[in-house]
Amino acid sequence: MTTTSPAPEPTASGTAVRRKEDARLLTGRGRYVSDLTLPRMRHVAFVRSPLAHAHITSVDVSEALETDGVSAVFTGDHPALASVSLRAQSGLPGYVETDQPPLARGKVRFAGEAVAAVVADDRYHAEDGAEGVDVEYEPLSPQVCAWASPEEITDPVHDEAPDNVLLSRTFRAGDVEAALAEAAVVVDREVTTNRHGGNPIECRAGVARYEIADRKLTFWSGTQVPYIVRTQLAGLLDLPEGNIRVIAPDVGGGFGVKAVLYPEDVALCLMAMAMPGVALKWVEDRVEHLLSATHAREHRYVLRAGFAADGELLAVKADAWCNAGAYSVYPWTAGIEPLMAGGLLTGPYKLAHYECTVRGVTTNTSPSGPYRGVARPSTVFAMEALMDSGARALEMDPIALRRRNLILPADIPYTMPSRLVDDSGAYEACLDQALETFGLEGWRAEQQRRRAGGGKPLGIGIGIYNELTGLGRAASAGPRMAFRTGHDACTVRINPDGAVTVFSGVTSQGQGLETTMAQVVADALGVTYDAVEVRIGDTDESLWGFGAFSSRQAVIGGGAAHLAGEHVRGKALALAAALKEAPVEDLDLRGGEVYMAGQAKSIISLAEVARVAYLQSDRLPEGFEPGLEGTKFYDPIRGAFAAGVQLGALEFDPATGEIGILSWVCVEDAGRIVHPVIVDGQIAGSIAQGIGGAMYEHLVYDEAGNLTTGTLLDYLMPTSGEIPELTIGHVSTPAANPTGVRGVGEGGTLAPNAVVAGAVADALGVEVDDLPVTPASVWTLLQGVTP
Amino acid sequence: MQISLTVNGERHRVDVEPRRTLADALREDLGLTGTHLGCEHGVCGACTIVVDGRPVRACLMFAVQADGASIATVEGLAADDGTLHPLQEAFSRCHGLQCGACTPGMLMTALHLLDTEPAPSRDRIRAEMAGNICRCTGYVGIVDAVESAAARQRELAPEA
Write out pLDDT tens, residues A38-78.
Answer: 999 999 999 999 999 999 999 999 999 999 999 999 999 99
For A463-488, the pLDDT digits (tens) are: 999 998 999 998 776 678 888 999 99
pLDDT of residue A481: 86
- Nearest residue on chain A to B101, alpha-carbon basis: A252
Nearest beta carbon to residue B138 from set A253, A684, A711: A684
Q: Can you list the positions of beta strands (E) in chain B?
A: 2-7, 10-15, 48-51, 54-57, 70-72
Q: At residue A279, what are phi and psi to the nearest 5 degrees?
A: -75, 130
Whether residue A268 is found in the same domain as residue A374? no
Nearest beta carbon to residue A30 from set B41, B100, B133: B100
Of A613, A634, A655, the position where a domain reaches its end is A634
- Here the CATH number for the domain that contains residue B118 is 1.10.150.120
> What's at B6, amino acid-wise?
T
The whole-angstrom separation of Cα A284 and Cα A366 is 15
Q: Which residue has the higher pLDDT, B160 or A653?
A: A653
Tell me if B36 and A286 make a contact (CB, 8 A cut-off): no
The whole-angstrom separation of Cα A745 and Cα A295 is 19
pLDDT of residue A2: 39
Whether residue A569 is found in the same domain as residue A508? yes
The answer to whether A120 and A48 have CB atoms below 8 angstroms apart is no
What is the rounded average pLDDT for all residues in chain A?
A: 96
Q: Please report which confidence band the pLDDT of residue A222 belongs to, taking 50, 70 and 90 as the band edges.
A: very high
- Nearest residue on chain A to B87, alpha-carbon basis: A26
pLDDT of residue A786: 52
Q: Please report which confidence band the pLDDT of residue A384 belongs to, taking 50, 70 and 90 as the band edges.
A: very high
Closest approach of B159 to chain A, Cα-based (Å): 28
Residue B101 has pLDDT above 50, yes or no: yes
The whole-angstrom separation of Cα A558 and Cα A564 is 10
pLDDT of residue A8: 45
Residue A570 has pLDDT above 90, yes or no: yes
Tell me if B133 and A712 make a contact (CB, 8 A cut-off): yes
Tell me if B17 and A124 make a contact (CB, 8 A cut-off): yes
- Nearest residue on chain A to B138, alpha-carbon basis: A685
- The residue segments making up the domain with residue A700 are 299-474+637-785
Tell me if A711 and B43 make a contact (CB, 8 A cut-off): yes
Whether residue B28 is found in the same domain as residue B48? yes
Residues of B in contact with A25 (CB under 8 A): 97, 99-100, 103
Residue A602 has pLDDT above 50, yes or no: yes
pLDDT of residue B43: 98
Q: What is the ipTM of this complex?
A: 0.98
Tell me if B44 and A712 make a contact (CB, 8 A cut-off): yes
Nearest beta carbon to residue A26 from set B84, B131, B142: B84
Tell me if A717 and B135 make a contact (CB, 8 A cut-off): yes
Closest approach of B25 to chain A, Cα-based (Å): 12
Whether B151 has its CB under 8 Å from any CB of chain A: the answer is: no
Q: Which residue has the higher pLDDT, A785 or A357?
A: A357
The answer to whether A663 and A443 have CB atoms below 8 angstroms apart is yes
The answer to whether B86 and B149 have CB atoms below 8 angstroms apart is yes
**Binding-face residues of B in 78-107 toward A, CB within 8 A:** 78, 84, 88, 91-93, 95, 97-104, 107
pLDDT of residue A785: 64
The whole-angstrom separation of Cα A324 and Cα A333 is 9
Which helix (H) or strand (E) segment is B24 a member of? helix B22-24
Of A581, A599, A634, the position where a domain reaches its end is A634
In-domain check, residue B41 = yes
Whether residue B65 is found in the same domain as residue B93? no
Of B76, B94, B113, the position where a domain reaches its end is B76
For A121-151, the pLDDT digits (tens) are: 999 999 999 999 999 999 999 999 999 998 9
Segment A336-340 mean pLDDT: 96
For A159-200, the pLDDT digits (tens) are: 999 999 999 999 999 999 999 999 999 999 999 999 999 999
Tell me if A30 and B34 make a contact (CB, 8 A cut-off): yes
- Nearest residue on chain B to A749, alpha-carbon basis: B138
> What's at B68, amino acid-wise?
G
The whole-angstrom separation of Cα A690 and Cα A694 is 6
The residues with which A588 forms a beta bridge, in sequence order, are A595
For A689-748, the pLDDT digits (tens) are: 999 999 999 999 999 999 999 999 999 999 999 999 999 999 999 999 999 999 999 999
Closest approach of A636 to chain B, Cα-based (Å): 27
Segment A680-691 mean pLDDT: 98
- Here the CATH number for the domain that contains residue A379 is 3.30.365.10
The total number of structural domains in chain B stands at 2
- Nearest residue on chain A to B124, alpha-carbon basis: A721
The whole-angstrom separation of Cα A652 and Cα A758 is 13
In-domain check, residue A170 = no
Residue A608 has pLDDT above 70, yes or no: yes
pLDDT of residue A784: 77
Tell me if A27 and B97 make a contact (CB, 8 A cut-off): no
Whether residue A443 is found in the same domain as residue A537? no
In-domain check, residue B81 = no
Residues of A in contact with B77 (CB under 8 A): 27-28
Q: Please report which confidence band the pLDDT of residue A666 belongs to, taking 50, 70 and 90 as the band edges.
A: very high
Whether residue A515 is found in the same domain as residue A654? no
pTM: 0.97
Whether residue A327 is found in the same domain as residue A284? no
The total number of structural domains in chain A stands at 3
- Chain B interface, best mutation among A20, A21, A26, A289, by max B CB count within 10 A: A26
